[in-house]
Structure 1
Amino acid sequence: MEKLQEKSLLLKAKKGNNKAFVELLQNEKLKLYKMAYIYMKNENDALDVVQETIARAYSNIHTVKEERYFATWLMRILINTAIEMLRKNQKIVPILEQQSEQIQVSSYDERLDLLQAIEQLEEKYKTVILLKYYRDLSTKDIADLLDCPEGTVKTNVHRGIQQLKKYFNKEGEHYGEQY
C-alpha cells in the first residue's frame, strides 16, 4: 500500500470511516494471526486475540499519531492482549505441555523444537525473540513497540538466545525441562 494512500486511510479511519479501518487491517491481518497463534498455540484462542485486538484498535484508532506507526501500534495491542489472555488462563495447562510427548516425528521437528524452546523463555525474552526473528523487526522498532530502550532489547535478545542455546545443548539429557 502506498504511503499516501495509507495516510489517507488512517485519517478517514480516525474520523470514523469503517471501510478505511478495514482496509488498513487487510495488510496486517495475516501478521496479526501468526503472532497471536505463536502466543496462544491454538486457532481458537489466536482468533479470540485477533478479534479483541481489532476491537481495541477500533476504539482507540484516534490515538495513532502517524501512519508509519500503525502496524507497530496494532502489533503492540495484539501482544498486550495475548499476554493478558494468557495470564487470565494461567490455571489452564497449555495444550503444548499436554501433547509434548505425543508429537510425532515429522519434517517439522526442528521448528516444533524451536517453538517449544521459545515457549519456555521468560515473557520478556520470548517477546523480543518473536518480534526480531518471526516478524523481522529491527532493534529500534522493537524498542519503540515495547516502549523501552534499544539497549534493553539487545540485552533481552542476547539473553534469550543464550537460554535457547543452553536448552538445545542440554536437549539430549533434559529435553523439555526449563533451564
Structure 2
Amino acid sequence: MYNALSSEGRSNKVKYDVHTVKRAIAGDKEAFEQLLYSEEEKLYYTALSYTVQKEDALDAIQEAVCKAYLSIKQLKQPDFFSTWLIRILIHECYRLLNKRQRMIPFEEEELLKKLEHHTDEINHSTELTEMLSQLNPSYQTALILFYYRDLPIKQISEVMEKPVGTIKTYLHRGKKQLREEMERRADCREQVI
C-alpha cells in the first residue's frame, strides 16, 4: 500500500485538493496514495528532524501512514489533512524515540542560523543539540516546527493541538532559555580564557 518515498510516482506528484481528501475518507486507496505523494517530502524531512537516522525516519513514516490510513474516516475537516498527518507523524516519532530512549535531535545548522544569529557564541553544534534536549519537549517541538519546518504559528497550534497563544509562549520561552544558556556558556568560555 505505501511506497510514497519510492522514486516511482514522483513525476505524477500533484498537490491535493479537498476533493481528493474526501475520496480518501470514502475509502479510495488511490486518492490516499495521491495525498501521500503530495506530502512525502514534508513527511520525510519532518521525521528525519526528529529521528536523525534515515531508517528511523522511514519507520516512523511507515507507522504514521498506516495509522492515518486506518483512521482517515475520523478526519472531520478535509482542509486540515496535512496538519492531521503531520500530527500523527510527530506522535509516532516521539513514540519511536521513547521506545528507543534517544534524545530528540533536529537540524542544528538550520536552527543555528535562524536563532537570532548566535552562531558565533556556540563552539559546536553539539552544544545546541544539548541545549535543545534540555528544553521542555513542547518548547523543543515548537522551535523545530517554526524555525526548521517554517510552519506558521497557526499551523503549529493545529499540529500540537494547543491554542495559538500557547505556541507563542512556547516559542518565546524556548528562545529565552536557549539565549540565556548561550550567554551563560559564552561567559564561562570568557572566564576560562
TM normalised by structure 1 equals 0.77
Q: What is the CA RMSD across the aligned residues, in angstroms?
A: 2.4
CA shift digits 1:25-59 (9 cap, x unpaired): 11211111111111112111111111111111111
Q: Does 1:122 align with 2:136?
A: yes
Q: Deviations over 1:47-72 (max 9, x none)?
A: 11111111111111112222320000
Deviation at 1:85, TM superposition (A): 1.4
Equivalence for 2:149: 135
Counterpart pick for 1:155 among 169, 180, 183: 169
Secondary structure, aligned partner of 2:151: coil
Is 1:21 the equivalent of 2:32? Answer: yes
Selected match of 2:99 from 82, 88, 93:
88
Matched with 2:160 is 146
Q: Please give the residue correspondences for 1:24-103 in structure 2 after superposition, counting only pairs within 5 Å.
A: 24-90=35-101
- Fraction of identical pairs, as percent: 36
Give 5+ residue unaligned stretches, structure 1: 97-108, 175-179
TM-score (norm 2): 0.72
Partner of 1:101: none
Q: Number of paired residues? A: 158
For residue 100 of structure 1, what is the aligned residue in structure 2?
Answer: none
Task: Quickly say closer, same or farther: Cα 1:25–1:72, change in 2 above 3 A.
Answer: same
TM superposition shift of 1:119: 3.5
Structure 2 CA distance for aligned equivalents of residues 122 and 71 of structure 1: 25
CA contact (8 A) 2:43 2:61 kept: yes
**Whole-angstrom distance in 2 between the partners of 1:146 and 1:82:** 13
Instruction: Name the residue aligned to 1:10.
Output: 21
Q: Distance in 2 between matches of 1:69 and 1:115?
A: 31
Equivalent AA in structure 1 for residue 141 of structure 2: T
Cα gap change, 1:67/1:165 in structure 2, threshold over 3 Å: closer, same or farther? same
